Structure formats: structure tokens, C-alpha cells
Chain A
Amino acid sequence: MAVYHLKTPISEEEIRKLKVNDVVYVTGTIVTARDQAHRRALEYFKEGKKLPINLEGLAVFHCGPVVSKEENKWVAIAAGPTTSTRMDIFEDEFIKNFKVRVVIGKGGMGRKTTDAMAKYGAIYGAFTGGAAILAAKAIKNVKGVEWLDLGTPEALWIFEVEDFGPLAVAIDAHGNNLFTDVQKKVEENKQKIYRKLGLSSS
């Protein structure tokens, strides 16, 4: 387990160095995007429209933050990750088209995303679910917000962050997926548990 501090924009070369179980802290710009923002971004790409921010080399964060406007300035109060599996249907295209290098969320992602990460050079960084204040304190500045018409949880929040993490590298750019590995082990362990409890397997 190695610890890395990455600054955006992150290069493909830097990303390829990372392996599952490494720990990463990101400094620079991260942009939130949930279901609706992913959908719209891909529509924009299809129509040849430019996104309000160039995502190349940046991190995308699955998060619907609690924000408040204080003296005309947005402040992130609590900003933990949301469950990433919902974005699985968009993420491979998203990585391919916008060249994001880091996807941050919780709960892991599936095969299609893992393949896209290996092909185009990106990782999935698991941020601890519920650790909302830890996340908010790493957000030094809300640089902007786009697509507020989607509602505050679904908008694109552009955060300037310092040492945002710890992110556990759960999918690396070499096709390894820690969540799938754990799931496989859990299935094996389940049989052991059944035997211990005197249950027949099924």
C-alpha cells in the first residue's frame, strides 16, 4: 500500500502507476456529477456541444453536497460520496469522452467501468461513505457551479480541494477491481460460515 499525493491535471502516466489498495489524496479541481449531470454531459458530447468545464485530467466526484450561500458565496457544508453503481451505465463513455483520470465515490463500480479505466487510464477512488465533514474540510473553495437547474444535489459543483482523501484505489488502470475481489472472497467465506453454523449450502 503506497500513498500518493496527486495534483490536477493528472497525467495518464501518473495514473498508471497506481495499484488497487494504494491511497491517494487529490489537490486541485474536482467536479461533482451524479446521475443527471452524467446524462446531460454525454448528451452534450453527442451534440458536439462543449461542457461548461474541461474535465481532462480532473477528478469527477459522485456527490450531492449540502451547500449554503453565505454572503453571495457558496460554501460546502457536508459533501460525502453517494453510491457509484447508479453511474455505471454512463461512466465508460464519460471516461472515454472527457478524459477524467479519477472517479470518486462509494460502493464500487462494475465491469464496463473497470474496462474503460484500463483502456483510457483512470482509477476509481473510494471515499469513506458518510465521512461528509472530512470531505467538506478538504474543499477550500467552491470555484463555481453549473447546471443548477438540475437542483443542488445534481448540479456540477466545481471544488478547489487540498489533499482530498483518503481515497482507496479500488479500481486501478490495469483491470483490477478490489470490490469484485472482495465479493469473490465473501462468496467463498459464506460457505465456511454455513458450515460453522451447521447449515447446508445453497
Chain B
Amino acid sequence: METKVVEEVAFNLLKQAVIYLPEDVKKALKRAYNEETSETGKTQLKAILDNIELAEKYKAPVCQDTGTIIFYAKAGADVKNLDKVEQALINATKRATKEIPLRPNSVDPFTQKNSGDNTGRYIPFIHWEIVPGNTLELTVMTKGGGSENVCVTGMLVPGEGVKGLKKFVVDAVVKAGAQPCPPNILGVAVGGGTDIAITLAKKTLLRPLDAHNPNPEIAKLEEEILEAVNMTGIGPMGLGGKTTVLGVHIDYAFRHPASFPAAVAFNCWAARRASARISSDEKVEYLTHKNVR
């Protein structure tokens, strides 16, 4: 696989992600606007919808915080040049920062120096998954800082089981309040360890809002938590209303008998993601943004 193609696709994905919100997110926001009963909440949702439209019209990033850049690479074991994909993604990130443009959001935590091009140690971060076949599926998430600041992990009491998890999520949403730019999308995960839980929780944010967990019991729990957190009354932008969360996605890993690790990853309403599949003959299929270039 030519690395030039990978770079071009990654650049296009970044552009699609920061300008055009996924259809499922737009649909959920429109529904929320129609159903919101708080006048102030409705004003906020209207401003969000207007802003989404303006971003598309002017081909400008939907939010000035263009996020931390995270790639998920699902690589077929037979794909050639996999060792060169990382550099291609870094190049694409630098180019996107200059040309779209993106806000430079990559800072050395010790010197406080901003690299200026959205790259740095471990950034953009790449999650690798090896699968059979000869295609490379790339997904980008550009993750806003406001919603990142309220993500939590916790070690719950195994004896409390799922009840403890429900409380953990409700408490996290109440504590976050207006900060993560609600309405939010929640990724929730349990098991593994703190690292595994938060990794899984964040990865579930890539699921479309209309996709529920294939396990009907967990899908029911997603619904139950969604309904519960929308009873908080935090509302759009924390100004009151019934739309606090647009969707809840749950995933899990098996846990140690003594541990019940849990994590909640928040995404802001500007839930930016984009995916594409590159086949061995370098044919590219854009999966989330079929109609935009």
C-alpha cells in the first residue's frame, strides 16, 4: 500500500471530521431541539444546529477546539508497508493543521511549549488492531478538551455490581455539569483494569448513536442510564432542560475477582469522527462521510 494514499486519506478524514458532524449526531441534535421543553435549552440547541449548518456552508471547523487527534487503525495482516503508516498519519496531521486549519493543541506537559502542528510524543495517538485480510480501515476521532476534562475512571466495589456502575455514571454526569458542553455522548466501560476500561469507554464513542450494544441486557442498561442522566435537568450547556445526554454506549472486559474498574468517557455535542477503508488495490471507500469531499 502506497503511504501517499494513506496520508491523503488521513488528511481527508481529518477534514471531514472537523467540518461535518456525522449524520447520526445531527439527527439526534435535531430531535433534541424538537423535544426540548426548556426555552433556554432550546435556544442553545438552535445555536448548535445553526452553527453546524454554517460550518458546512463555509467549510470551517465546527468548533474552535479542533481537539486531540486519535487514530484507530484496523490493519489487515496482509497489508504491505504497515510500518510506514504511522509516519503517514503524522504527515497528514501536520498538513491538516496548516491547510484546514486546525488549532494547534499539542503541548509538552513539562515545558508547556506548543509544538504548533498537533504532533508530539505519542500524538497523534494510534490504536492498532490486526485483523485478517488485506485492507486498512482508518478512523479518526478529534477529541475536544472541555469534555475530556471530566472523563473519569474509578475502582468500584465488586459486591455492588451493576448498581455501583449506575451510580458512578450518574455522579459523573452531575459533577461534570455544564463543563463538557452538553448535550454529551457517554462511553461507559467496566472490567479489565483502569487503562482497559477508559480505552474501551472512549472507543465506544465511535459507535453511531443508533447502534446499541448487541447484547440485549447491556442495550437495556444503556437505555436505562440514558433515561436516568436525562432526569438530571442539566440541559443543553448546563442552562437547564431535559437534553443532557444524546446517547450512552457501554462496553466491557472481564474483570479480576477483586476489582470492578469502571470508566466514563464524555464527548461534547461536537462528536467528531470519520472512517475510511483502503483496499489492497488502493481503492478508497469513505464510510462515515459518503457525500462530502
Interface positions of A (Cβ within 8 A of B):
1, 21, 23, 64-66, 68, 77-80, 83, 106-108, 126-134, 136-137, 166, 168, 170, 178-179, 181-183, 185-187, 189-190, 192-194, 196-199
The answer for the CA separation of A66 and B178 in the assembled complex, in Å, is 23
Known A134-B50, A134-B51; judge A197-B40 contact (CB<8 A).
Answer: no
Give 28 A-B contacts (CB < 8 Å), ordered by A residue: A1-B39, A21-B40, A23-B43, A78-B61, A83-B179, A106-B178, A127-B47, A128-B48, A130-B51, A131-B50, A131-B51, A131-B63, A132-B60, A132-B64, A133-B51, A168-B237, A168-B239, A179-B238, A181-B240, A182-B177, A182-B235, A182-B238, A185-B240, A186-B234, A187-B174, A197-B167, A197-B170, A197-B228
Q: Are A108 and B58 in contact (CB under 8 A)?
A: no
Known A197-B167, A199-B166; judge A79-B64 contact (CB<8 A).
Answer: yes
Known A187-B174, A193-B228, A199-B167; judge A66-B64 contact (CB<8 A).
Answer: yes
Q: Chain B residues near A192 (CB, 8 Å)? A: 231
Q: Are B61 and A126 in contact (CB under 8 A)?
A: no
Q: Are A128 and B170 in contact (CB under 8 A)?
A: no
Find residues 26-43 in chain B having any chain A CB closer than 8 Å to their own CB. Answer: 39-40, 43
- B233 within 8 Å of A by Cβ? yes
The answer for the CA separation of A194 and B50 in the assembled complex, in Å, is 36
Apart from the given pairs A65-B64, A83-B146, 6 other A-B contacts in the complex at a CB distance below 8 Å: A129-B146, A130-B144, A182-B240, A193-B228, A196-B231, A197-B228
- B163 within 8 Å of A by Cβ? yes
The answer for the CA separation of A142 and B63 in the assembled complex, in Å, is 19
Which of B48, B51, B171, B236 is packed against the most chain A CB atoms within 10 Å?
A: B51
Q: Are B48 and A130 in contact (CB under 8 A)?
A: yes
The 10 closest A-B pairs by CB, nearest first: A78-B64, A129-B181, A128-B47, A131-B51, A132-B64, A130-B63, A133-B54, A134-B51, A182-B240, A107-B178
The answer for the CA separation of A170 and B178 in the assembled complex, in Å, is 12
Q: Chain B residues near A65 (CB, 8 Å)? A: 64
Q: Are A66 and B48 in contact (CB under 8 A)?
A: no
Q: Are A197 and B163 in contact (CB under 8 A)?
A: yes
Q: Are A106 and B181 in contact (CB under 8 A)?
A: yes
Q: Are A182 and B47 in contact (CB under 8 A)?
A: no
- B90 within 8 Å of A by Cβ? no
Closest to A187 in B: B174
The answer for the CA separation of A188 and B64 in the assembled complex, in Å, is 34
Q: Are B54 and A134 in contact (CB under 8 A)?
A: yes
The answer for the CA separation of A49 and B178 in the assembled complex, in Å, is 36
Q: Are B62 and A133 in contact (CB under 8 A)?
A: yes
Known A126-B239, A128-B237; judge A137-B47 contact (CB<8 A).
Answer: no
Known A178-B40, A186-B234, A189-B233; judge A194-B240 contact (CB<8 A).
Answer: no
Q: Are A194 and B43 in contact (CB under 8 A)?
A: no
The answer for the CA separation of A189 and B181 in the assembled complex, in Å, is 20
The answer for the CA separation of A186 and B62 in the assembled complex, in Å, is 29
* 8 Å CB contact of A168 from B43, B103, B174, B179: B43
The answer for the CA separation of A185 and B234 in the assembled complex, in Å, is 9
Which of A1, A23, A187, A193 is packed against the most chain B CB atoms within 10 Å?
A: A193
* 8 Å CB contact of B58 from A66, A133, A170: A133
Q: Give the Cβ gap from A85 to chain B, nearest Cβ, in Å.
A: 8
Q: Give the Cβ gap from A113 to chain B, nearest Cβ, in Å.
A: 15
The answer for the CA separation of A64 and B177 in the assembled complex, in Å, is 22
Closest to B46 in A: A166
Q: Chain A residues near B170 (CB, 8 Å)? A: 190, 193-194, 197
- B55 within 8 Å of A by Cβ? yes
Q: Are A199 and B240 in contact (CB under 8 A)?
A: no
Q: Give the Cβ gap from A97 to chain B, nearest Cβ, in Å.
A: 27
The answer for the CA separation of A128 and B241 in the assembled complex, in Å, is 14
- B268 within 8 Å of A by Cβ? yes
The answer for the CA separation of A183 and B235 in the assembled complex, in Å, is 11
Which of B50, B64, B236, B269 is packed against the most chain A CB atoms within 10 Å?
A: B64
Q: Chain A residues near B47 (CB, 8 Å)? A: 127-128, 131, 134, 166
- B118 within 8 Å of A by Cβ? no
Q: Are B43 and A133 in contact (CB under 8 A)?
A: no
Q: Give the Cβ gap from B97 to chain A, nearest Cβ, in Å.
A: 11
Q: Give the Cβ gap from A63 to chain B, nearest Cβ, in Å.
A: 8
Q: Chain A residues near B101 (CB, 8 Å)? A: 66, 68, 77
Q: Are B65 and A186 in contact (CB under 8 A)?
A: no
- B280 within 8 Å of A by Cβ? no
Q: Chain A residues near B144 (CB, 8 Å)? A: 130
Q: Chain A residues near B232 (CB, 8 Å)? A: 186, 189-190, 193
